[in-house]
Every structure is written in structure tokens, then in C-alpha cells.
Structure 1
Amino acid sequence: MKLELRGITKRFGSLTANDHIDLVVQPGEIHCLLGENGAGKSTLMNVLYGLYQADEGDILLDDEVQHFSGPGDAMRAGIGMVHQHFMLIPVFTVAENVMLGHESTKFAGTLDIAAARKKVLEISERFGFNVDPDALVEDLPVGVQQRVEIIKALSRDAKVLVFDEPTAVLTPQETDELMATMRRLRDSGTSIVFITHKLREVREVADRITIVRLGKVVGEAEPTATNNELAALMVGRAVELTVHKDEPKLGDVALQVSNLNVIDPQGLKVVNDVSFDVRAGEILAIAGVQGNGQTELTEAIMGLQPRVTGSITLNGEELTGLSVRKVLDAGVGFIPEDRSEDGVVKGFSIAENLMLDRANGAPFVKVGNLQLAYREKFARETKDEFDIRAQSIETKAGNLSGGNQQKVVLARELSRELKLFVAAQPTRGIDVGSIEFVHKRMVATRDAGIPVVVVSTELDEVTALADRIAVMYRGAIVGIVPGDTSRDVLGLMMAGEKPTEAAA
């Protein structure tokens, strides 16, 4: 089925999320929609799927204009979507999830589970999915759950499939399997729209690439384009994608984590007997699929988790049990994984956000009085040093782009004397140019002799920055390996295999 979008425009108040976008996806084609977070990709696909109504423009399928008032209309027309966050009921079986919303019945109104099971087996066999229709979704690995989402769409005769950032929760091996699935779907005649910001994946699987920036189509590219060429189109300028760093000049062990456990409100161990150390002048990256205890680990270091056992010491000083204020005063800098909720106060200005860690004393406050002249001088200098792009230091943080918000957090944490720097998902949702800047500052921090802990689900980021890599799986550390360990080995470790087994 041929899909065509003509002049699609979608506004939210004064914000134009999609600005007269044209897109054509041919039958049996994988068409990649490439752009940074916030570029308008997902909004465009939500218009296509009937979740949003376009303010202007038309959707055409096989040259016929469509009018979708909701997702039901889009599905009946042959459009399916595999969302980034799966739309599955964990306690239902695969067959029950597949028939949900499209239930078929037998005599006396009973559900025809057998028909749903048959449909799952037929599609699974056709595309080599190997999915058990009677398995509970909650017992399936994430990669298999994604196959269930695809089976759901195909069971409703989808001729156009939209994949919205589909690899965000997958291991590298699961990502490779998804790419193979997409090729099989393409070869069967299915039209595929693949939304992503990951250049490696684009070049591997796309037949054509359309680049979106700030709500507009800014160009098309072939899969043979280099990463640098694609990045330049995404950002609007040349970008250095390679992280340059010298061999580390290691000092003594600075951070020591021993037998750390974090207990959640249900009494479950979300961090399970974790031990590691980080030396001065070293970057330790913690890799793993999101949801394997990384968030709770960083929160435990920062004093944000209430139920913690074990030991966390920094240069011999015990941090376990300290308040967040005392952890900060001990010299720990922190980038939280959700900057908009935990990193900045959106209603505060850049200047106010830059002094948040130090609003309790000199040099910003003396004898209970705010030193406005010092704050403004500090803010102006820091804004320039960290290339925070805004009209003035009085601009509200909520009015900044994601990348500039992250620079505010980075500037605040790195502009004070640190003994440890912890960065959780430091480049999530920011543009390629800002990623380049953040990576350079993190390497500079390491080269200044400060131990750095980076938590990231982006394997390219992990391998680019790390001197050593600790891989977490289900709350425990599977192993700690050198920074140049292959992606294949790391991917197997992210699925729970020990380093020696993964290497074999």
C-alpha cells in the first residue's frame, strides 16, 4: 500500500509541531523518518494514526484521501503502529492481547480464543517470530513482547506499519532481530515508516531517509550517506561525532560501593548486592536495558533512596544514610535522568537554576542576603562557557530547548569543586550538537582527575566514553569489562550472560 502525506500541519497553540510536511512511502519500502527528539516525528505519526487531527493537509492511501477520527479508523484502513512503550496487558496471554479490541466470539457469546491462537501461530510461522500464543506477556523478554505488538498489527491486516523509536528498550541482539523482521515485512510487501534518531540503525535498514528538523522536512538522503552527513542535516551544522580521549591517568580508588542493596516499597530488591569501585581520572559506564536497577543505583549514591543497605564511600567518607544536601556538600555532582522534572526548576531563570546547589551559603548568600551582583556575573560567565543558547540569563529554564536545559544542569554541577561526578542518561533527548558538547565536558572532567560514573542505555555512548563498563541485569552487576569490549559481548551481558560466556 502506498502512503502519502501532503502538507500536514499540526499546531499546539503558538507551537507548530509539523509545518507543511510532505512524505511518500512506497509499497514494500522501509522509509526512515530521522530527526532529533522534539523535531516533530512522533506528532506526525500520531496524526497518521488518528490520535491527533491535522490542522491542514491530507493523508492518502493508494491515492485516496482518508479521514481518520481516531486510531480505529486508521487500523481499519490498514495502518498499524508499534509504539515505543508497548500497549500490552502483562497478565494476559499473547493470544488474548492480540484479540483485545477485536474480539471474535463463538456460540453463546464466548470468546474464540482458538481463533486468536491460530492467527498468532500463522503470523509467527510466516515471519519466523517463534512466539507462544499461550505465554503470559509478563513472562516474555522485551524483544519478544515487541514481536507480539507486531503480530497485533498484522492480525488486523496492516499494510502500513509505523515503528516509533522501536529499539529504545532492546539489547543490541534484539535490535538486530528487529531489523531482520523489518526486512522480512518489507519483502512481503508491507510499507514501513521507521522513526528514530539513531544513525547506525538508519543506515542499516532504511531504503530511503527523510530528515525532519524543527517540524519541517529539511532534506532526503540515501542509506549510503555517512553519519556525519546525516547528523549535519539533523542539526543544521557540521558535528564531530567521535569522542576523542587520551588514555586515563588513573589515581587511587575514590568511589567504593560494597554489597549495595536498594529495597522498593513492595519489599523487592531493585539493586541486588552491587559492588564496584571507580578510581580518580576514570570513567566507569554502567550499561543495561532501562529498568534493571540503574536509576535506583544512582539515586542511592545521591541519598535519594530511603531503603538502602551496604556501603558507599567517597575518599573514605561514608555516604550511605546521608541527606542529599550532605552528599552534595561532600563534592558529588549529579545529572538526573529526567532533567525537566529533577534537573531544573522550569519557572526559575537560568541564573537562579545555576545557583540551586549553593543557595545556602557563600559566595551566593552572605549573612542571609542574596548576592545579586555575584550571581549575575557568575551566570553570564557560565552561560558563555557552557554555550547555553538563550536571550539572557533571566530566560526561564522552561523556555529552553532540551539540549540547553541539559547544559544548565551540566554547568551548575561542573562549576563547583567536585570529588565525584554521576551522570544518568546525560544525553537523552538532546540534539547531536549538544551531545558533542556534553561528551567533551565529561571527558575533560575525567582528565581533571575526577572519577565519573555514567549511566546510559545508549551503547554507542557507553563504548565511546567508558574506560571500564559495568553491565546491570535485573538489579545485579553481571560483570565489569574493559571499555573496548565488543558490542556483541555487551549485548549478551545485557541479557544476563556472564562476560566469559558472552565472549565465548
Structure 2
Amino acid sequence: MKLELRGITKSFGPLVANDHIDLVIEPGEIHALLGENGAGKSTLMNVLFGLYDADSGEILLDDEPRTFSGPRDALGAGIGMVHQHFMLVPVFTVAENVMLGHESTKPGGVGMLDLDAARQRVRELADRFGFELDPDAVVEDLPVGVQQRVEIVKALARDAQVLILDEPTAVLTPQETDELIGIMRQLKEAGTSIVFITHKLREVRAVADRITVIRRGAVVGSASPEASETDLASMMVGRAVSLSLGKAPAVPGETTVQVRGLTVLDANGSAVVDDVSFELARGEILTLAGVQGNGQTELCEALLGLERPAAGSILLEGNELVGLSPKQVLDAGVGFVPEDRSVDGLVGDFSVAENLVLDLVHTKEFSRAGALDLAAIRKNADHRIQEYDIRTQSATQAAGRLSGGNQQKVVLARELSRPLKLFIASQPTRGVDVGSIEFLHRRIVAERDGGTPVLIVSTELDEVVELADRIAVMYRGRLVGIVPSDTPRDVLGLMMAGVPHDEATAQAAEHPTEAGHE
């Protein structure tokens, strides 16, 4: 089935998310829609799937105009979508999830659901594509990669001829990503068209037949998979960027951070951080790798004093941090960039100048006799805006009106504007454009080179490898191991799935993957 979008425009108030977008998806091709977070990719696909009404433009299937009033219409027309955040009921089985929304009943069964038919449909599709999927497995018990296959089977069970995959690798290990790429190729060979939405250059080049690049809501060009990552990144950003950090080797000094046996329990008493221990020296970057949801957030909260550990110790230059409040931890010399800047890092309605001193207003530098020193705050803002290349109309502009990259620069500038004994950054470039990533990475390395111990938590393996002097891998609340920065990607991927380092090295040698050797 040929899919065509003509002149699709969608606005949210003054924000034009899609600006007269034209796009053609040919039958049986993998078409990558490449762009930064916030470029308008997902909005466009939500219009296609009937979740949003376009302000103007039309959708054509096999050259016939179609109108979708909701996802049911899109599904009925042969368009399926696997969302970045899965639309599954965790306590239902695979078969129950697959039949959800188009339930069938047993003949003469007085309204009883025909689960046997659903099971059979799952088995047929699983066998056809080699999914190894148990129809009676409960979804919440399945690994994330298998849950994604359930989403794909749901779409195929409804005879989807065009399958939209929205940032499908965001929650996958490299090995699971390779498996998904294999599945995409199988679907293509079976005649299914795939729209692959992503911001990851490596994956686009590995699997796409054609690439369309979107920037700021508009199509800015197309490219072939043979294009270099640098060329694709430049199209995404609109200027030349460097994807290689080229940092000098670390020169570690004294070990000043010692975490011992740290354990954090959730509300049910289960260990979400389980007996974690590591050390960190002055002048080195330790990156924490792992799929989101394996205890990284809780670990950072414990380090900052937001979460009280059930056991363990956090020593900073010999001083115990466990038991201190977040303010006391910050005052002890810890700088912290949270994983969600809009919730925990900024006050959106406050000005850029105010956000640059959020945790410093009590200091003598910015207050006198209990009153804020507005002149000092403004002078500081002018300096930081220039130093960190924060693109803002003025220091008085509300921080919430800045782009994601510039918001992150504000948070980073604030945290690095004072002498630190430990710098922690969680997902430091999430939702940030490629150009800003380049800048933020260089500032982090500069902090390391100034002698500060740095802990980076990231789910982006490219970022982990680029920044690391050493890599710690976390799985289900435990550290699987701490390895050198040059550890192969396929080994890291297996460790992210819980495989110990030695075993992962042996498995990787026997079964090299695209993610590890591309």
C-alpha cells in the first residue's frame, strides 16, 4: 500500500508543529523520519494515526484521499502504530492484549470471548516472523524487547500494511535493537511498509531504504542510508556539527567519592537500588549505563539526599552524605543536573537570571541583609549567558520559553558556576539538539579536566561511550560490573541485559552484532 501525506499542517496555539509536510511511503519500504526531539515527527504520525486532526492537508492511500476520525479508522485502513510508550495492559496476557479493542466471541458462546482464536492468531504471526511469543504469558512479566513484539503483533493482527514505529529503540538494549532491525527487515520482505521515527543516526543508516529529515516542523531534505552521520546531523541541526568529542585521556587523582553497599527500597519494600558500591576519583568521568528503569533514578535521588537509603554509605572527601538534606548535600559541594529539567531543574515561569541562582540565593554573593541583590543576579546572568551560549531574548525572559537545549544550558551553567567536589548529571542531553549536545559534552569534559569527579547517568549508549573514562552497567538495581571505556558495544549491551562481564565477552565473541560492530 502506498501512503502519501500532502501539505499536512498542525498547530498548537502559536506553535506550528507540522508546516505543510509532504511525505510519500512506497509499498514495502522502510522509510526513516529523522529529526531532533521536538522537530514534529511524532505529531505528524499522530495526525496520520487519527489521534490529531490536521489543520490542513490530506492523507492518501493508494492515491485515494482518506479521513481518519480516530485510531480505529486508521487501523481499519491498514495503518498500525507502535508508540514509544507501549499501549499494553500489564496484567493481561499477550493474547488478551492482542484482541483488546476488537474482541470476538465464541460461536454460540453467549458472549464469551474467543481467546482460543486470539491465541492461534498470536502463534501464527509469531511463527511467521520468528518472534518466540507465548500467547498466555502475562505482559508485565516479559522483557521490554518482547513487550515491543507484542505491540507489533497487535498491529499485524489487524492486518496493518503500514506500520509506524515511534522511537522504537528508546527502551532497548543494543542486542534488542538488532533483533528489532531484523524484524523490520522481515516485515519489509513480507510487503509491509514501515515508517521508522527516530533521532538515532546509527540505526537509520543500518536499516532505512530512504530518509526524510524534519527540522522545526518542516521537511528540510532527504538522504540515502549511505550518507555519513555527520551529514545527517548537519541536516537535522541546520549547520555543521562535530559528532566526535575527541577528549584527552583522563588523569585521575585522589579517590574522593566512595559509595558502599547502597540500598534503596520502594514503597513495597523491594530493593530498587541493591547493594551498589563504586568509587570515583578527581578528574575522571564514570558513566552509568542501563535501560531506563533499572534503578538509576533512585540511585541519583539517594546521592542527592532526596531518597533515604535503607543501608549503605556515601562518602565525599571522607564526609558522610547519608542523612543530609538535599540543600546540605548541595552545600557540601555536589552539583546536580536532574533527568527531567522541566520538573526538577527549572522554574519555568522564573526568568533565566533567577533560574541561574536558584540554589545560590542564600549566599553572600546574591543576597544582602536578607534581600536579593538584583544587580549581582543580573550581572551573573549576563556572564553565564555569554559563557554558555544561552540563546535567549534577555536575562529576564522566562526560562520555560527557551528551547530544550537552552534550558539545559541554564541548568548546567547554574550547577557548574560554583566550586564542586562532585558533579552528577542524569540524562544530560535528553531532548537536546545535536548542536547543543556537542556544547554540553565539552563543558562536562572541561569540568573533569578541572579536577572534579563526574558521574553521568545516561540511557544513550553513544553518550555513555563518548563521555566515559570508566563505565558502570546497572541492571535491576545492581551493578553488573564496571569496565573500561573501550569495552565493545555488544559486550555493554549484554551487560545491560544482566549478563556478567566475562560471560558477555564470551557471548559477544561467538555472536557479533550489528550494534557492536557497525
Aligned to 1:284: 286
Aligned to 1:95: 95
Aligned to 1:64: 64
- 1:367, distance to aligned residue in structure 2 (A): 1.4
> For 1:167-220, what per-residue CA distance to the aligned partner results, in whole angstroms no more than 9, with x for missing partners?
000000000000010011011111110000000000000000000000000000
Partners of 2:254 and 2:418 lie apart in 1 by 21
Aligned to 2:321: 319
Query: Does the 8 A contact of 1:164 with 1:195 survive in 2?
Result: yes
Partners of 1:20 and 1:247 lie apart in 2 by 47
Query: Does the 8 A contact of 1:253 with 1:280 survive in 2?
Result: yes
Equivalent of residue 453 in structure 1, options 452, 455, 458: 455
> For 1:278-301, what per-residue CA distance to the aligned partner results, in whole angstroms no more than 9, with x for missing partners?
011110000000000000001100
Aligned to 2:513: none
Partners of 1:258 and 1:319 lie apart in 2 by 12
Task: Report the secondary structure of 2:359's partner residue.
Answer: helix
1:8 aligned to 2:4? no
Amino acid at match of 1:367: A
- 1:308, distance to aligned residue in structure 2 (A): 3.6
Query: Does the 8 A contact of 2:308 with 2:322 survive in 1?
Result: no
Partners of 2:332 and 2:70 lie apart in 1 by 53
Amino acid at match of 1:189: G
Within 5 A, what are the aligned runs for 1:68-79?
68-79=68-79
Task: Report the secondary structure of 2:7's partner residue.
Answer: strand
Within 5 A, what are the aligned runs for 1:365-404?
365-404=367-406
> For 1:323-360, what per-residue CA distance to the aligned partner results, in whole angstroms no more than 9, with x for missing partners?
00100000000000000111110000000000111111
Greater shift after overlay, 174-183 or 261-270?
Answer: 261-270
Task: Report the secondary structure of 1:358's partner residue.
Answer: coil
Within 5 A, what are the aligned runs for 1:121-136?
121-136=123-138
Within 5 A, what are the aligned runs for 1:80-91?
80-91=80-91
Within 5 A, what are the aligned runs for 1:58-207?
58-106=58-106, 107=108, 108-207=110-209
1:273 aligned to 2:275? yes
Aligned to 1:220: 222
Task: Report the secondary structure of 1:169's partner residue.
Answer: coil
Task: Report the secondary structure of 1:430's partner residue.
Answer: coil
Task: Report the secondary structure of 1:449's partner residue.
Answer: coil
Partners of 2:493 and 2:354 lie apart in 1 by 42
Equivalent of residue 363 in structure 1, options 358, 362, 365: 365
Query: Does the 8 A contact of 1:264 with 1:307 survive in 2?
Result: no
> For 1:359-396, what per-residue CA distance to the aligned partner results, in whole angstroms no more than 9, with x for missing partners?
11210011112111111111101100000001110010
Q: TM-score, normalised by structure 2?
A: 0.97
Query: Does the 8 A contact of 2:309 with 2:322 survive in 1?
Result: no
Aligned to 2:339: 337
Partners of 1:292 and 1:58 lie apart in 2 by 43
Partners of 1:248 and 1:254 lie apart in 2 by 16
Greater shift after overlay, 243-252 or 52-61?
Answer: 243-252
Amino acid at match of 2:24: V
Task: Report the secondary structure of 1:311's partner residue.
Answer: strand
1:42 aligned to 2:37? no
Partners of 2:228 and 2:291 lie apart in 1 by 27
Task: Report the secondary structure of 1:378's partner residue.
Answer: helix
Partners of 2:94 and 2:252 lie apart in 1 by 51
Give aligned pairs, total.
504
Aligned to 1:443: 445
Task: Report the secondary structure of 1:20's partner residue.
Answer: strand
Structure 1: runs of 5 or more not aligned: none
Partners of 1:15 and 1:84 lie apart in 2 by 22
Amino acid at match of 1:25: I
Partners of 1:161 and 1:294 lie apart in 2 by 32
Aligned to 1:301: 303
Amino acid at match of 1:357: D
Structure 2: runs of 5 or more not aligned: 507-518
Partners of 2:56 and 2:166 lie apart in 1 by 23
> For 1:398-437, what per-residue CA distance to the aligned partner results, in whole angstroms no more than 9, with x for missing partners?
1000000000000000111111000000001100000000
Query: Does the 8 A contact of 2:260 with 2:314 survive in 1?
Result: yes
Provide the identity percentage: 69
Partners of 2:228 and 2:418 lie apart in 1 by 39
After TM superposition, the runs of 4+ consecutive aligned structure 1 residues lying more than 6 A away are none
Equivalent of residue 253 in structure 1, options 252, 255, 260: 255
1:347 aligned to 2:349? yes
Partners of 1:90 and 1:279 lie apart in 2 by 42
Partners of 1:307 and 1:88 lie apart in 2 by 32
Amino acid at match of 1:54: A
Q: TM-score, normalised by structure 1?
A: 0.99
Partners of 1:119 and 1:48 lie apart in 2 by 26
- 1:307, distance to aligned residue in structure 2 (A): 4.4
Aligned to 2:20: 20
Greater shift after overlay, 306-315 or 33-42?
Answer: 306-315
- 1:488, distance to aligned residue in structure 2 (A): 0.4
- 1:247, distance to aligned residue in structure 2 (A): 1.3
Query: Does the 8 A contact of 2:287 with 2:457 survive in 1?
Result: yes
